[in-house]
Amino acid sequence: MNALVLDLDYPALRKNKNIETFLNRYEKVIGQIRDLQMKSEDFDRVKVIGRGAFGEVQLVRHKASQKVYAMKLLSKFEMIKRSDSAFFWEERDIMAFSNSPWVVQLCCAFQDEHYLYMVMEYMPGGDLVNLTSTYDVPEKWAKFYTAEVVMALDAIHSMGFIHRDVKPDNMLLDRHGHLKLADFGTCMKMDSTGMVHCDTAVGTPDYISPEVLKSQGGDGYYGRECDWWSVGVFIFEMLVGDTPFYADSLVGTYSKIMDHKNSLNFPDDVEISKDAKNIICAFLTDREVRLGRNGVEEIKRHPFFKNDQWTFDTIRDSVAPVVPELSSDIDTSNFDEIEDDKGDVETFPTPKAFVGNQLPFVVTLYIFTLQSAALQKKLRLLEVQLNNEKQVKDDLDQKHRYSSCSLQDMLNKEFNDRFQVSGRKNLESSLRQLEREKALLQHKSLESHRKAESEADRKRCLENEVNSLRDQLDDMKRRNQNSHISNEKNIHLQKQLEEANTLLRAESEAATRLRKTQTESSKQLQQLEANVRELQDKCCLLERSKLSLEKECISLQAALETERREHSQGSETISDLMGRISGLEEEARQQRQALSKAETEKRQLQEKLTDLEKEKSNKEIDLTYKLKVLQQELEQEETSHKATRALLADKSKIKVTIEGAKSESMKELEQKLAEERAAKLRLENRILELEKHSSMMDCDYKQALQKLDELRRHKDRLTEEVKNLTLKIEQETQKRNLTQNDLKAQNQQLNALRTSEKQLKQETNHLLDIKRSLEKQNQELRKSTLYKTQVRELKEECEERNKLYKDVQQSLQELQEERDSLAAQLEITLTKADSEQLARSIAEEQYSDLEKEKIMKELELKEMMARHRQELAEKDITISSVFKMLKLQMFHLKFNHKQIIAVGVHISLFCVFIFSESEKSKDWEQQISQMKQAFEKQLQSERTLKTQAVNKLAEIIYRREFRSRDSRRGNDTDMRRKEKENRKLQLELRSEKEKLNSTIIKYQKEINEMQAQLADESQMRIELQMALDSKDSDIEQLRNLLQSLSVQSMDSASVSSGPEFDADDLDEACISGLEKISLSTGYFHCS
């Protein structure tokens, strides 16, 4: 509706009553809708960061949320002028519907009268071209960025698209230094076999694959392997510094690409590993053997990507080789400076008839998702908090286990020391340590209690945030009920909320477990306090406790037997639990298989839905077009029917046959309409059934996910129980071994401890003295070695800096000389290029003006032809009416002589009218010839201007290439950029030449058609002139007849004595004369 209102809101079209009523009814409503929709005024422009053929990219800030985005502006006028108004659909769909972190996300899309707007996330790290120009990229970095490019291309291929323009210019870096793919204007949808049909070569010359080159001018048929070729070129460029098939001209690059088996060479002065050479050669081969043809896993398994820092699953979470340093959120230091374009914006001309310039851009609106992005960020923060809480909980569990193990070890040691007769002092020291540890444990228990309380508070906060997120989701649902895309986003957010709820439940369970462990630790502390008291009592009674020790030995033996029994029982329980775990794992596998089947069915249904929607839209368009054609045919038939009624009023039989034919045609048309409507209803019913089926599949998918989550929880619980049992068994075995060893060593230790105490004291004193002397010596040695190493390092640094200083001075001198020469060349070429661009723009404007004038002239010619035909028909009607009047007057001549004189006057006036009309036809023919000459002159001037502009551009390009050959040294990044610009200019030249040739052919066809029309018109003119001459002769005959009749009437009036005048003879003579005239002219037969 918005596009229709924009296309109809012109003064020339408002003259039509139907258009005027339509605009009066819907203009205000659509104005209100425009005010509610997103507009470019909702953003503050910060800076222009990119410019292309169809528009520019701006850095903007959203006024409401104060967030920074990159906004892409596409000119509707330029897209329609170049007949490229459909490439933005793929770009919009890929960025909008992809959830991959490797693709630049689209936040919103909208339009106005002149532009299409796409608001994307801002990538402040710039592109990889900037990175390669500022750093010498090592193989480690190239490995990292290649892996991220592989992941990004896999994400796009999984969506069913081929990129076809993979190059460093389209690889952007975010604020963390990770890579994302952009610029999806060249993407193309794959068919069911994963292939693409295309007859034009698309892409950048240095990165284009041989199969895409072969598709130029033929039936191209290739798959996703063309993107892996570009990846191979990218790796070579990263490691070497230049593309592998570089040449001074496009023909040279294309010939090298086609002969890649012989032209691929590695330079000797660059160190490249065997794995890197292997992967480059595996990518730069024929498509039948190319790496990646059998899937991405084939690429991931290549030894080039082996390292110790990251894998393909963890690469997104790892640290990038280069993290951009940003001063603020609007830092554009990683982008080239681009001047603001202050020129006038080209807009559509005001049409005199309906053109439909806005119709190709219908439904480019995409729901604004800034709020959903904020919600997703909140959910991510909540997930991070949950992970942190889990880590804290794990740390507390480990500390608790460690403290319990240490307490048990201390108790065992104290129990062993209890058997020693002379270990009273040791027991007292151990008691003191136990008291300290008791205080520490009490402090830790208080800390764990506080942490548990803080976790409970965090849990409450998380629950409040989840509730707020649910409220926001409900609001989003209410706002976005009419849009399918918002429903998908809401479903995604609901899934995330469900995951957050499950995480919260797990966190609450963990908190309850922590509380339980806290209560158990408090109980253990109480037991420890009781044990400490018992030990204090026993310390006093150690000398009298020999009998009690023997009893305790017997009890220990009994405890050992019980522990053995418990150990056997624990092993049996472990075997049972392992059996349960295996059964649960099998169930989980079955559930996963069912899930994978459901996902495949869901994907197939979604693909069917998309295909049916496309078929529905195509059929609706066909139906509307057929309805319009049928309406036009009906109108034409009605007009012809009216004409036949006017011409054939007396012939009733012919009228009946025409009406029957008309009714039959109307019935056929109505049958066709009924069939089309029935087909449309069938399609809509089929789409509804598919949507129901997809909703049922979604429900089954959710239920399967819930079952999987329950099985995973049950499995985790069982694994925890198994771990706890194994820990208990290990502790029991340790206790048993310790008790056995203690029983054996008690007798030996009683004898050896007394002798060892004295020796240990002497040895400790001696060791303390040695330690002091060694520490002094170590300090002196460290000082001396530090001084020596510092002196050596300083000397080496001085020598290296001197060498670097000399090298830098030499390179600076060379660079200054090159810069001066390049600056002079650039100034000359830029001035020429500016002048040529001005001339080209002027020529294009003149060309568009001439096209407009041509269309207007054609319309005027058609109108003139229609008028001329109407005038001829009117003349024929007037002539036939004159002959009828003459007949009647001839019948009434005997009664009224004055009527004969009036007929003569009328005939003379009619002759004057016919003469003036013949002169007008001659003037019209002269005008047509003049218009033809003017058109031919304009075409010739257009051709000359176009050829001059193309020749001058070619001269500039060849001059740049010649100078670049002379001044090209090394791997200078500026020269590479200039060469790429030259290649782009050559591509533009080729496209302009092709367009010029096509326009020349079109105009030649139009000239031939005009010449044929002029020949037809000249023949028509000759026939009309012949008819006019015949009519002049007929009029002269009528005049002669009238004169003779007047003479006869005068004779009959003057001579009364003569014979009587026979009126019947006179009538017969007049009628015979008129019949002769009518036979000669053929007008009476026509009537």
Which residues, in sequence order, are CB contacts of 19 under 8 Å at separation 6+? 8, 13
What's the average model confidence in pLDDT over 312-333? Answer: 89
> Where are the extended beta strands (E) located within 35-105?
43-51, 55-62, 68-75
* Listed ranges 284-293, 544-553, 763-772, 847-856; the one with the highest mean pLDDT: 284-293
- At residue 1021 the predicted structure's pLDDT band, cuts being 50, 70 and 90, is confident
Q: Are 729 and 570 in contact (CB under 8 A)?
A: yes
User: Which residue positions form the known binding site?
Assistant: 72
- At residue 98 the predicted structure's pLDDT band, cuts being 50, 70 and 90, is confident
| 193 or 711, which is more confident | 193
pLDDT at 1057: 42
Flag the least confident range among 2-6, 13-17, 249-253, 269-273.
2-6
Q: Are 153 and 272 found together in one domain?
A: yes
What's the average model confidence in pLDDT over 1060-1067? Answer: 43
User: Which residue positions form the known binding site for ATP?
Assistant: 72
Report which residue type is found at 636: Q
Residue 69 phi/psi, 5-degree rounding, is: -140, 165
Reading phi first (left if > 0) and then psi (alpha if -120 to 50, else beta), residue 695 is in alpha
Question: pLDDT digit string (tens) for 408-465?
Answer: 666 666 556 554 545 556 666 666 777 777 667 766 667 766 776 777 777 777 777 7
Residue 48 phi/psi, 5-degree rounding, is: -90, 125
pLDDT at 7: 65
Which residues, in sequence order, are CB contacts of 149 under 8 Å at separation 6+? 166, 171, 179, 181, 231, 234
Residue 214 domain flag: yes
Q: Are 573 and 439 found together in one domain?
A: yes
In the chain, the number of structural domains is 2
What's the average model confidence in pLDDT over 741-753? Answer: 68
pLDDT at 361: 66
pLDDT at 764 over 50: yes
Give the three-state DSSP class for 294.
coil
Question: pLDDT digit string (tens) for 692-707?
Answer: 777 787 777 778 778 7
The position carrying tokens 């100078």 is 963
Q: Are 323 and 440 found together in one domain?
A: no
pLDDT at 1038 over 60: yes
| 690 or 1066, which is more confident | 690
Residue 829 phi/psi, 5-degree rounding, is: -65, -35
Q: Which domain holds residue 168?
A: 125-328
Question: pLDDT digit string (tens) for 494-511?
Answer: 676 677 667 767 776 776
| 476 or 964, which is more confident | 476
Residue 713 domain flag: no
pLDDT at 685 over 70: yes
Flag the least confident range among 663-677, 803-817, 821-835.
821-835
- At residue 792 the predicted structure's pLDDT band, cuts being 50, 70 and 90, is low
pLDDT at 1060: 40
| 832 or 235, which is more confident | 235
Q: Are 324 and 449 found together in one domain?
A: no
The stretches of 480-545 forming alpha helices (DSSP H) are 484-540
Question: pLDDT digit string (tens) for 502-541?
Answer: 776 777 677 677 777 767 766 766 776 676 677 667 766 7
CA 670/CA 677 separation, integer angstroms: 10
Report which residue type is found at 1076: K
Residue 497 domain flag: yes
Q: Are 305 and 450 found together in one domain?
A: no
Question: pLDDT digit string (tens) for 5-25?
Answer: 776 767 777 777 777 777 777
How much is the pTM?
0.40
Reading phi first (left if > 0) and then psi (alpha if -120 to 50, else beta), residue 398 is in alpha
Flag the least confident range among 19-23, 377-381, 903-907.
903-907
User: Which among 599, 632, 665 is the end of a domain?
Assistant: 632
pLDDT at 1077: 43
pLDDT at 285 over 90: yes
Flag the least confident range among 51-55, 68-72, 379-383, 675-679.
379-383
CA 431/CA 419 separation, integer angstroms: 15
pLDDT at 767: 65
Flag the least confident range among 160-169, 271-280, 636-645, 894-903.
894-903
pLDDT at 290: 93
For residue 127, the 8-state DSSP code is B
- At residue 560 the predicted structure's pLDDT band, cuts being 50, 70 and 90, is confident
Report which residue type is found at 621: I
| 953 or 727, which is more confident | 727
pLDDT at 795: 66
Report which residue type is found at 673: L
Residue 197 domain flag: yes
- At residue 370 the predicted structure's pLDDT band, cuts being 50, 70 and 90, is very low
pLDDT at 810 over 60: yes
pLDDT at 174 over 90: yes
pLDDT at 122 over 70: yes
What's the average model confidence in pLDDT over 1078-1082? Answer: 42
- At residue 166 the predicted structure's pLDDT band, cuts being 50, 70 and 90, is very high
Active site residue 394: no
The position carrying tokens 């976005």 is 480
Residue 928 domain flag: no
Question: pLDDT digit string (tens) for 194-246?
Answer: 898 887 888 888 999 999 988 876 777 889 999 999 999 999 999 998 899 99
Catalytic residue among 127, 154, 165, 174: 165
Q: Are 292 and 285 in contact (CB under 8 A)?
A: no
Closest CA to 282 of 298, 268, 269, 270: 298
Which residues, in sequence order, are CB contacts of 142 under 8 Å at separation 6+? 235, 238, 239, 276
pLDDT at 265 over 70: yes
- At residue 966 the predicted structure's pLDDT band, cuts being 50, 70 and 90, is very low
As to burial, measured by CB atoms within 10 angstroms (0-12 exposed, 13-18 middle, 19+ buried), residue 630 is middle
pLDDT at 237: 93
Q: Are 53 and 124 in contact (CB under 8 A)?
A: no
Residue 304 domain flag: yes
* Listed ranges 291-300, 581-590, 918-927; the one with the highest mean pLDDT: 291-300
- At residue 305 the predicted structure's pLDDT band, cuts being 50, 70 and 90, is very high
Flag the least confident range among 316-320, 524-528, 955-959.
955-959
As to burial, measured by CB atoms within 10 angstroms (0-12 exposed, 13-18 middle, 19+ buried), residue 650 is exposed
Flag the least confident range among 185-199, 234-248, 347-361.
347-361
Flag the least confident range among 648-657, 867-876, 1032-1041.
648-657
CA 498/CA 501 separation, integer angstroms: 5
Question: pLDDT digit string (tens) for 32-75?
Answer: 777 777 888 889 999 999 887 778 899 999 998 899 999 999 88
Residue 1021 domain flag: no
CATH code of the domain in which 265 resides: 1.10.510.10
> Where are the extended beta strands (E) located within 800-868?
none
CA 960/CA 953 separation, integer angstroms: 11
The number of angstroms, rounded, from the C-alpha of 238 to the middle of its chain's C-alpha atoms is: 26
User: Which among 294, 328, 362 is the end of a domain?
Assistant: 328
- At residue 959 the predicted structure's pLDDT band, cuts being 50, 70 and 90, is very low
What's the average model confidence in pLDDT over 790-794? Answer: 65
Percent over 70 (pLDDT), the chain:
59
- At residue 1085 the predicted structure's pLDDT band, cuts being 50, 70 and 90, is very low
For residue 324, the 8-state DSSP code is -
pLDDT at 867: 72
pLDDT at 1084: 35
User: Which among 282, 301, 328 is the end of a domain?
Assistant: 328
| R_g (Cα) of the chain, nearest Å | 48
Residue 303 domain flag: yes
